[in-house]
Amino acid sequence: MADAAEFRAQFPVLKTKAYLNAGTEGPLPRQAGEAVRERIALELDAGRCGADYGATIRQLAGELRRGYARVLGADPADVALTGSTTDGINTILSGLDLQPGDEIITSDEEHPGLLAPLGNLKRRGVTVRVVPFATIAEAVSAQTRLVACSHISWVGGQVVDAAALAATGVPVLLDAAQGIGAVPVDVQALGCAFYAGSGQKWLCGPEGSGALYVRRDQLDQLTVAWPGYGSVADAKQALQSPPAPDAARLDHGFPPGMRSAWALASLGVLEGAGWEWVHARAAELAASLAERLAGRGLTVSPRGRSTLVSWEVPDAEAEVTRLAEAGFVVRSIPTHGLVRASVGAWSSEDEVARLAAATAA
């Protein structure tokens, strides 16, 4: 079990703010800042050229792929390096051979990062059905080619019934923006075909980082939507070469050294504390906040064992501004009239109590 105070001390922003917005951007650990500075200094002094540079970049990317795979409970060969959750979603939706008349089921609590790509397919004649988050599996029909929804709802922290979805036999694409790093993840147990996550949220990595899991039996069902140097088995014969043999064929572009160094350093901080402790502490603190808010008479959105807590207010934007002035970093969900707090293992019991006391009853 990690020491909560020592773990918290690794995030400098917490000295001045009650940072409760990792569902948008995670706090930056000091070690990650140091890793980025070291990487910049190396590239300044040694240049970005030569065989050693290329080998180092590939080595860092390989380490990051293995790091993401550990978080996902996956084989590294089944993980692609992307730039965001939406990058992963677009990789799948663009790669599947979806035709007019095919049906995709999604939910009424999805983020624009999933809805916008689905909207693009809808304009091409694919049927997109929106159903209640809690009953997605019940909506699957003989026409359904794919279920695309969140693992954890960004609205209020509900957890999808992954077992029910897997039991339908239809491939499932899970938006993992509020899942990866926030809650325990085992893609094998979830039974999903695809799991697309962000690196900058609960994994405290940089913007432009993310991971995409593709189940082995689904890989060859996908066209490589963004082909390039790394997507082929033999770059020297790129015009004739078949795709690379594993999920690396779906990587997005050349892996920046600074991105890899930052992401690896942040993963190291979280792994050093122990994922079991990180997940349990965040979930317990979030449950405490939800209970305190309900005790004050506020309407808390339906949630599961997750790290998100949302509550109803008459003017969400105004409440976010008011709480910011009091030192709390939270956000609004404007489409639902909610204020949302993202509670991490780096949060404290004191912050949770003070936030609940500071909310407008």
Q: In a 3-state reduction of DSSP, which class is residue 208?
A: coil
Q: For 273, phi and psi rounded to 5 degrees?
A: -75, -25
User: Per the CATH hierarchy, to which homologous superfamily does domain 4-29+273-358 belong?
Assistant: Aspartate Aminotransferase, domain 1 (3.90.1150.10)
Q: Write out the residue limits of the CATH 3.90.1150.10 domain(s) in the chain.
A: 4-29+273-358
Nearest residue to 152 (alpha-carbon basis) of 22, 277, 324: 22
pLDDT of residue 361: 65
Query: Which strands, in side-by-side order, build the sheet including 338-342?
Result: 308-312, 338-342, 331-333
pLDDT of residue 226: 87
- pLDDT score of 302: 97
Dihedral Cα 260, 265, 271, 272, nearest 10 deg: 160
Q: What predicted TM-score, i.e. pTM, was given to this entire model? A: 0.96
Provide, rounded to the nearest whole percent, the portion of the chain with pLDDT above 70. Answer: 99
The rounded radius of gyration (Å) of the Cα atoms in the chain is: 21
Domain 41-270, CATH 3.40.190.10 — does that match?
A: no
What per-residue confidence (pLDDT) applies to 86? Answer: 98
Per-residue pLDDT of the chain (361 residues), as tens digits, is 689 999 999 999 999 999 999 999 999 999 999 999 999 999 999 999 888 899 999 999 999 999 999 999 999 999 999 999 999 999 999 999 999 999 999 999 999 999 999 999 999 999 999 999 999 999 999 999 999 999 999 999 999 999 999 999 999 999 999 999 999 999 999 999 999 999 999 999 999 999 999 999 999 999 998 899 889 999 899 999 999 999 999 999 889 999 999 999 999 999 999 999 999 999 999 999 999 999 999 999 999 999 999 999 999 999 999 999 999 999 999 989 999 999 999 999 999 999 999 997 6
Distance of alpha carbon 339 from alpha carbon 313, whole angstroms: 7
In the chain, which segments carry CATH 3.40.640.10? 41-270
Nearest CA to 259 out of 28, 36, 34 is that of 36
Angle between helices 112-123 and 85-95 in degrees, nearest 10: 20
Strand duo 331-333 + 328-329: pairing: unpaired
Lookup result for tokens 């963004």 = 226
Q: Residue 323: enclosing H or E segment and its boundaries?
A: helix 316-325
**Count of positions (residues) in the chain:** 361
